[in-house]
Structure 1
Amino acid sequence: MEIDYSPQSVPTAPYRQIAPDSESAVLFLHGITGSPAAWFPIARALSDHGVSVSVPLLPGHGTRWQDLNATKWSDWLDAAKAELSALSQTHSRVVVAGLSMGGALALALGADDSPPTELVLINPALYIDSPLTPLLPVLKHFVASVPAIGGDIAHPDRCEYAYDRTPVAAIASFASAQSKLRNDLWRVECPVTLFISGSDGVVGPLTLRTLRSRLPTAPAIRALRRSRHVATLDNDADTIAEVILEKVTSAGGATAGTPGDRE
């Protein structure tokens, strides 16, 4: 699949293209401190193949890191649920693709009473890999931010437009939600495809082991040997895009080559 990596005019803006003849849609969820830019090239490529796509800007993102500190997991999850509901009303199949925290949000949607058709997870985050994680509930009252976690990309010419600082209160909320999510994985009954990068500076191997042991059905695992954490913008992005396209078109849910309406 041909992917154009040039950014849209406002790289952090949401992106939504609805193809009127498509029975399938893909909801793309970005990571914490990140932006829709992480998914934009893939989403645009799928839209060019007649697939309905939506890449929402999650609350607190796309502005400044201080705004993210004023939001929490429930805000991000509510936004993801609202967009899934909207897409489900007009499409018979909705695939949710999530990167990092977006992967955790996707799993939360999969464990919900109204799950999507299928999940595609790229380096999902089920743990905050730091020895300070147990201290986050207290630390957030004294430390506003720590160094950035964004931009873990092997390709030298691509950017996810993430914040230059990581807000501690937001990370504390995420860590608290991760604990509950790990206990709810048994409720995820929709198929899961899991992409794991060979070198990841953000998410450690414990997430993969947890998903293998706690999901009721074993996920299909694909290795991304040339990419780091933000694999959706990295050297294996075309592989991710092709797998997602295959999932939505194999069921007859999209009209290949038919561009979606511009909204």
Structure 2
Amino acid sequence: MPRRAILDPEVVYRGHPAPEPFYIAGNQTGVLLIHGYSGSPPEMLPVARYLHERGGYTVVGPLLPGHGTRPEDLRRIHWQQWANAVNYAYANLAAGCERIFLVGLSMGGVLALYQAERLTTDPDRKLAGVVSLAAPMYVNDWRVPFAPFAKYVIRWQGNRYTSLEEKTSVRDKAAVKELWSYLRMPSHAAHQLLVLMKQTRRNLATVSVPLLIIHSRHDTTSPPPSAQIIYDSVASADKQLVWLDNSNHVITVDYERDRVNQAVYDFINQHNG
């Protein structure tokens, strides 16, 4: 795993896990787990551990560029760097595994779909399936059309003085202790996320691998209709859409985490032939 920058003391949270990438060696089935916007690999650990313990899979959780250090680092990042980091992690995992599954939360789900689009003509065809967890395809905000210009005027989104409990979109507030994320984000980074969503949505019809989509009906961050957009747009003949009713956005740690873990495991186990 590549080394990351030293953490800014202002964004180290006592009692929360360090935002470190993870790798747990297992069998010849590899699972690449991609965290979300402003988040870090620990939000993917509950799923990763479950998959490794139940299926013996090799699980990897990279740290995306600009994340896990200090928010200012995201002011120099473009969406292609996130996509390239996923592609790099995929290539490393594929070098030692026979089959690969992509599992992404929120922006990580968008990146998983984007990677599947990139691999449409992959001669090795190691990609066996994609799991999209609460991935957004658009944002419910009237300010979105002005994002390319607003980033020069309003440089930050969020409040550095809020708490992680207040900022995080989960119903189970006790689960926040398992997470690490920034409290504020550069407007530049928000614009990059919008561009990534647009690029990915434009090419969804090229995705033909088996696909599992899991989304909460009560997601206050990623609009629930995004799940149906993905389902209707991909070319996959084998696709499933699972709705949650007692979770918010970070469904990997919320009240229905066990259902999420089981659904992801069942999907991978079903397509691991």
2:92 maps to 86
Which string of whole-angstrom CA distances, capped at 9 and with x for unpartnered residues, describes residues 128-184 of structure 1?
Answer: 321111111111112221126951011121122111012210110111222221110
Q: 2:61 is aligned with what amino acid?
A: V
Instruction: Give me the identity figure in percent.
Output: 26
1:260 maps to none
2:259 maps to 239
Partner residue of 2:170 out of 138, 153, 158 = 153
Q: Given that residues 198 and 224 in structure 1 are in contact (C-alpha distance below 8 angstroms), is that contact kept between their aligned partners in structure 2?
A: yes
Q: 1:101 is aligned with what amino acid?
A: M
1:203 Cα offset (Å): 1.0
- What secondary structure does 2:103 align onto? strand
2:154 maps to 143
Q: Which runs of 4+ in 1 moved over 6 A?
A: none
- Aligned CA RMSD, in angstroms, stands at 2.1
Q: 2:224 is aligned with what amino acid?
A: P
Q: Given that residues 213 and 231 in structure 2 are in contact (C-alpha distance below 8 angstroms), is that contact kept between their aligned partners in structure 1?
A: no
1:10 Cα offset (Å): 4.3
C-alpha distance in 1 between matches for 2:169 and 2:90:
28
Partner residue of 1:163 out of 163, 182, 197 = 182
Q: Which has the higher contact order (CA 8 A, sep 6+)?
A: 1
Which string of whole-angstrom CA distances, capped at 9 and with x for unpartnered residues, describes residues 166-215 of structure 1?
Answer: 22101101112222211100100111100011211101134123213311
Q: State the number of aligned residues.
A: 245
C-alpha distance in 2 between matches for 1:198 and 1:182:
20
Q: Given that residues 217 and 224 in structure 2 are in contact (C-alpha distance below 8 angstroms), is that contact kept between their aligned partners in structure 1?
A: no
Partner residue of 2:231 out of 201, 204, 212 = 212
1:131 maps to 142
1:70 maps to 76
Structure 2: gaps spanning 5 or more residues: 1-13, 160-165
Q: Given that residues 155 and 186 in structure 2 are in contact (C-alpha distance below 8 angstroms), is that contact kept between their aligned partners in structure 1?
A: yes
C-alpha distance in 2 between matches for 1:87 and 1:167:
31
2:22 maps to 15
Which string of whole-angstrom CA distances, capped at 9 and with x for unpartnered residues, describes residues 230-263 of structure 1?
Answer: 000111111221222233444667xxxxxxxxxx
Q: Given that residues 212 and 267 in structure 2 are in contact (C-alpha distance below 8 angstroms), is that contact kept between their aligned partners in structure 1?
A: no
C-alpha distance in 1 between matches for 2:256 and 2:224:
19
Residues 1:176 and 2:183 are matched in the alignment: no
The alpha-carbon distance between structure 1 residues 247 and 34, as it changes in their structure 2 partners (threshold 3 A), is same
Structure 1: gaps spanning 5 or more residues: 1-6, 254-263
TM-score normalised by L of structure 1: 0.86
C-alpha distance in 2 between matches for 1:252 and 1:79:
25
